[in-house]
Structures are given as C-alpha cells and as structure tokens.
Amino acid sequence: MIEQNTQVRAVLGIDIGGTGIKGAPVNIDTGEFLAERHRIETPQPATPEAVGKVVKALVDHFKWTGPIGCTFPAIVHNGMTMSAANVDQSWIQAPAQEILAKAAGLPLVLLNDADAAGLAEVVFGAAKGRGGKTIVITLGTGIGSALIVDGQLITNTEFGHLIFPRNEIAEKYCSAKVREDSDMKWSEFTERLNKYLLHLQLLFSPDFMIIGGGISKKHEKFIPDLKDLRFQVVPADLKNDAGIVGAALEAARCNGI
C-alpha cells in the first residue's frame, strides 16, 4: 500500500487508451511516480463493464485507498462520455465517471486523455510558464489534442477528428497506429504529419506545439524533418506518462488536495 501522509500529496492516476490501460500513484507536487507504472491490455471489446474491471485491478495492484484521476479517449462532459472513437460504442452518452467510480469503489474524476496530457505539460512540462497559444497533440491509437491559451486549458478540442485530408479524419491519416499498422516509413509518416500540422497552423496559428503519446519517445525520427511551420515543435517532457500525471492533478484539484 502507498502510504498517505502529510508529507506527500498523492493521487492515483489512470490513463485509459485504446490498446492499454496504465496507472501509477503520483506525487502531485512534483509529478513524480511513487511506484512503478503498471499496464494492463485494454479489453476487447472495451465495454464499460470490462474497462471498469481493469480500473479495479489497477486499484488492487497498488492497494490504493484514496482519490483517483482517470483519463478517457473521448469527449468528457460533466462526467459523461459523449464519443467513443477507439473504445466500445456503448460509452457514448454513458455516465462514465459514475461507472468507473463505482467499479473502483473510490472517488474518481474523469477527463479527456489529451486534456490530461496538456494539463501535465502546463504544470510540469514543456508548456510550463508559456504564454500565447500552445497545442498539444498526442499520437497513439488515435490523435488527441489539448489547447492551452496563456496557461489555461480549453477542454475537449478533438483536433484529431478534423476532416483531413479529403473525406477522412486526421487520426485515420497520421496517428501512430496508422504508421504501425501499415508499416509506414518514417519519411512518409513525417510528410503526412507535416501536412496535418500545416492544416492546424492555417486554422489556429499556434505559437508552440508539443507532440506527446508513445511515439514521442522516437521524436528524433520525425520532428527535425518537419518544415514550413511558423511555430516550434517539441516532444512532450512527460512523454507517455503525461496522461497519468494530468489525471492525478485534476483529481487533486477536484478533491481539494
């Protein structure tokens, strides 16, 4: 069991993705993990009942007894999931926060996965102290996004669902999964990603961009070859752990920790 004490303010962060569900207890003052991250494959189909069982398994793994912050790959509005791009369709308009809290048997706060990553990068990462307009793009099973304006998170932007290119959505064009599934060369992936980022530049004129998700660990294979962008592009400081950290931060805020 992770000891809860007055010296360390800790929250369990859980990051639900289309292929894996991972979690760790987080020191919310430093962003550091207090135990090794634990990952469980996302059940298929990823129904509310099946995902709830995995969340409970993570709670049991860490012998956790406090509040939980949890991400979800969907629009999350007032605790309800309003979309389901890479999980079972039964999540659409489901009271997801209530479902997962009941499964865990503990207080649980739910938010969009990319929003959580963006929040973590604002507090502890590459966007810390930055003014202007920052976009965080997470490349994974799909494409998540977070918009940060003068340090404030604008939730549920869903830039991965922009129609790009013609008659297609962006995450079916240049997500990490698309690259892996088609065994795409890095040069072709970079070209696709570049075109998508140019589209975001046209629409939003960002000042700064952060690329997150698991693929950010290999940022040297694509970021240096991006071109014709008016803004700097950097990998996420927290890499693929940003969702866990951001979820913990949001749960801490909501619980007054």
Alpha carbon distance 124, 115 (integer Å):
14
Strands 10-16 and 80-81, by their bridges, are: unpaired
Amino acid (one-letter) located at 52: G
Is the whole model's pTM more than 0.85, yes or no? yes
Cβ contacts of residue 58 below 8 Å, gap of 6+?
A: 12, 14, 21, 22, 23, 38, 40, 64
DSSP state of 49: H
Note the pLDDT of residue 18.
85
Q: Which H or E element spans position 203?
A: helix 186-204
Note the pLDDT of residue 6.
54
Cβ contacts of residue 250 below 8 Å, gap of 6+?
A: 69, 109, 111, 116, 119
- Domains of the chain, CATH where assigned: 10-112+242-254 (3.30.420.40), 126-236 (3.30.420.40)
Are 156 and 115 contacting, i.e. CB atoms less than 8 angstroms apart? yes
| Blockwise average pLDDT, block size 10, the chain, 257 residues | 67 94 98 98 96 98 98 95 90 98 98 96 95 95 94 93 95 97 98 98 98 93 98 94 96 94
Note the pLDDT of residue 211.
96
Are 26 and 245 contacting, i.e. CB atoms less than 8 angstroms apart? yes
Strand order in 20-27's β-sheet? 38-41, 20-27, 10-16, 68-72, 108-112
Cβ contacts of residue 5 below 8 Å, gap of 6+?
A: none
Q: Which two tokens stand for residue 73?
A: 């790959």
Note the pLDDT of residue 101.
98
Query: Peptide bond preceding 48: is omega within 30 degrees of 0, i.e. cis?
Result: no
Closest CA to 31 of 46, 53, 10: 10
Q: Which residue has the tokens 């400081």?
A: 237
Distance, C-alpha 7 to centroid of its chain: 28
Note the pLDDT of residue 141.
86
